[in-house]
Amino acid sequence: MPAPVATRTAVVLGLLAAISYDPLVNIPIGPLKISPHGVGIAVGFLAGARLMMPEARRKGISEDAVFTILIRAAIGSLIGARVAYVVNHAGDYIDDPLSVLRVWEGGISLLGGIFGAILLALPVAKRLKVDAWKGLDAAAPGLALGIIIGRIGDLIVGDHLGKTTSFFLGYRCPPLDVATASPCGSDSFPNVADVVVHQTALYDMLLTCGLLALLLWLRRRRRTSSTRYDGFLIIVFGAWYGTGRLIEDFLREDLRRFGLTGSQLTALATMAVCFAWLAFVRRKPRWGHWEEPALEDSSEGGPTMAEPLREE
């Protein structure tokens, strides 16, 4: 006779919880060692830029301007990711301050990278007369796609492994002679094989897949009065992703201040601003309107410079 549904479900969940694999931390190519984590970040950035391009054109932003801004954003993301991590883990660098420069040894912050990219790209956007909020809206789905691909790299190397768990999406630690990018276990079970831990990179990837689907739907649907303003998509991105990171980091093993990680504090501030804007302001931010106003035909006595369109 067939097993009861509850029994079959328990067996399936048990198998899922037992799923494990040996991470691939480095790929040796001659004298070099290539990290799938770094490859994931690079491919994610390029894929996100490709997704951004058609929407940027639709918003009147030239490809040359997009490429110039993205180059500066790439530099800003590297600087911001490292600076944010070092600031949050400053105690680790007191004895060897020069280790701050050894980025290849690990230690970056995704949220720091996002803010670094934006901060370094904005002056270029201003110089090129690109409206900041149109550009950020065009970039929002690509940013989500880049995170998803980057998280695949995290999964390959076994990074961001968290606290012990019995959750069916947990990761079973490999044998002790198999390297992982982050310690597999917890304070109670450090580097112990056959322990199941939270795989927070997987949770982040799944939540960001939902965010990408939402952003693409919002971008394609007929705009309503509540979603018409420039900046809406990037604000939705901040609200959703900030919420996800706030929840996920409770499952991580990381340095905490006031009970929260550095990423959680950043995510909390981002959430507060974005949710408040979506709930109460609901219009395009006043700052960052750098595009050149379009010229109107003055043959019928109209003005030579178009009046800015009022947002509804």
The structural domain count of the chain equals 1
List, for residues 106-161, the tens digit of each pLDDT value: 788 999 999 999 999 999 999 999 999 999 999 999 999 999 999 999 999 999 99
- Domain hosting 179: range is 33-281
Residue 298 lies in a domain: no
For range 53-61, the mean pLDDT: 94
Say yes or no to pLDDT of 48 above 70: yes
* Residues 213, 206: Cα–Cα separation, whole Å: 11
Identity at 215, one-letter amino acid code: L
Nearest of 22, 25, 34, 20 to residue 157 by alpha carbon: 25
Q: How confident is the model at residue 31 (pLDDT cuts 50, 70, 90)?
A: confident
Say yes or no to pLDDT of 183 above 50: yes
Entry pTM: 0.85
Order of strands across the sheet with 161-164?
A: 161-164, 196-199, 171-172
Residue 294 lies in a domain: no
List, for residues 60-74, the tens digit of each pLDDT value: 999 999 999 999 999
List, for residues 265-300, the tens digit of each pLDDT value: 999 999 999 999 999 998 999 999 888 665 444 444
For range 20-27, the mean pLDDT: 90
Identity at 259, one-letter amino acid code: G
pLDDT of residue 240: 98
Residue 19 lies in a domain: no
Residue 303 lies in a domain: no
8 A C-beta contact, residue 202 and residue 169? yes
Residue 264 lies in a domain: yes
pLDDT of residue 104: 72
pLDDT of residue 186: 55
Residue 194 lies in a domain: yes
Residue 286 lies in a domain: no
Residue 127 lies in a domain: yes
